[in-house]
Amino acid sequence: MSAPKTYLNAVSAVPGATPVHVAVIMDGNGRWARARNFPVMAGHRAGAEAVRRCVRGAINHGVRYLTLYAFSSENWRRTPQEVGDLTTLLRFYLRHKVAELHREGVRLVVIGDVGRFESSLRDEISRAEKLTARNTRLTMVLALSYGARADITRAARLMAEAAIRGDLDITQANENDLARFLQTHQFPDPDLVVRTSGERRLSNFLLWESAYAELAFLDVLWPDFNEEHFAALMADFERRERRFGGRVEHRTVAP
Ligand code: IPE
Ligand code: IPE
Ligand code: MG
């Protein structure tokens, strides 16, 4: 007699699946640099190298969307020196590394309040987005000057404007009506949100979209992140049982 079968009767629980969308809070560049008596900028530069390893991991595991939190709306509070260094690094990355992403079949999309950046960086962003727009292997979403609360507030404002124009009955507005004004509406919600550096907080990242995301916190500083860490995250995700508020019944039935 063959072994009894176990099945899950919740529609949405898919154990053993690869996450479609992985979102990463890339934290720990400053501590990595400090531990080596390097300037903070060296940590950010090493962090940019870790991005390549993360993208490689995502492609190898068949992940379709990778959102990377590179600069938060609150990071403008850092010294002008650090903000300036970070924007210089971003400009360099976009100018010189996007060709490699393009060769790999990666589509780059930027979310966040990019209007706050100087025009030369905005130009690099547009150029990189246009160059890679038709790629389909992996969509890499770079969150720059991004804050979830700011994006939700903007969406509420746009929804109100639609109502004033008569395009929407505000008394009937539902979650989807708001969500379609979020900058992230073109992507599926993240299945897995990862934060490196040992901190266990979201720091204003994808607050709406992560409602049912699995969370993973790694005691690794972002510049040390590598493909083995990515593989371990995938293996850990596979073991998780997602319920989305439903009841997952493990029933044993006769074959
Ligand atoms: C993350 O590294 C990168 C950015 C926020 C831009 P940090 O610079 O926050 O590194 P720690 O947290 O100080 O170690
Ligand atoms: C979150 O890290 C933002 C990014 C990784 C880009 P922070 O280092 O800015 O977060 P807090 O200030 O420690 O919460
Ligand atoms: Mg930090």
| Residues 156 and 147 sit within 8 Å (Cβ to Cβ) | no
Cβ-based neighbours of 163, under 8 Å, separated by 6 or more: 169, 170, 173
Domains of the chain: 21-149+190-211+227-232 (3.40.1180.10)
Residue 10 has pLDDT above 60, yes or no: no
Residue to mutate (ligand 1; options 26, 31, 49, 54; most atoms within 8 A of CB): 31
Catalytic residue, chosen from 75, 135, 204, 226, is 75
| Structure confidence by residue, pLDDT tens digits, 51-106 | 999 999 999 999 999 999 999 999 999 999 999 999 999 999 999 999 999 999 99
- Any ligand 2 atom below 6 A from CB of 69: yes
Residue 47 has pLDDT above 60, yes or no: yes
- Any ligand 1 atom below 6 A from CB of 240: no
pLDDT at 248: 79
* Whether 75 is catalytic: yes
Segment 131-143 mean pLDDT: 98
Look up the pTM and report it.
0.93
| Residues 194 and 216 sit within 8 Å (Cβ to Cβ) | yes
Look at the block and give the residue holding tokens 């995502």: 58
| Residues 56 and 22 sit within 8 Å (Cβ to Cβ) | no
pLDDT at 6: 40
Segment 179-201 mean pLDDT: 98
- Residues surrounding ion ligand 3 at CB below 5 Å: 27
Smallest Cα–Cα separation from 29: which of 199, 233, 167, 178? 199
Ligand number nearest to the C-alpha of 23? 2
| Structure confidence by residue, pLDDT tens digits, 12-31 | 445 668 999 999 999 999 99
Tokens of 9: 């009767």
| Residues 161 and 130 sit within 8 Å (Cβ to Cβ) | no
Residue to mutate (ligand 1; options 29, 51, 54, 217; most atoms within 8 A of CB): 29
Residue 220 has pLDDT above 50, yes or no: yes
State the DSSP code for 237: H
Residue 252 has pLDDT above 60, yes or no: no
pLDDT category of residue 2 using cuts at 50, 70 and 90: very low
Residue 135 has pLDDT above 90, yes or no: yes
- Any ligand 1 atom below 6 A from CB of 197: yes
- Any ligand 2 atom below 6 A from CB of 191: no
Distance CA 36, CA 43 (A): 9
Burial of 133 (0-12, 13-18, 19+ CB in 10 A): exposed
Q: How far is ligand 3, taken at its centre, from the CA of residue 138, in Å? A: 26
- Any ligand 1 atom below 6 A from CB of 18: no
Q: How far is ligand 1, taken at its centre, from the CA of residue 120, in Å? A: 24
Segment 218-225 mean pLDDT: 98
pLDDT category of residue 151 using cuts at 50, 70 and 90: very high
Look at the block and give the residue holding tokens 């060709």: 99
* Whether 27 is catalytic: yes
| Structure confidence by residue, pLDDT tens digits, 161-172 | 999 999 999 999
- Any ligand 1 atom below 6 A from CB of 144: no
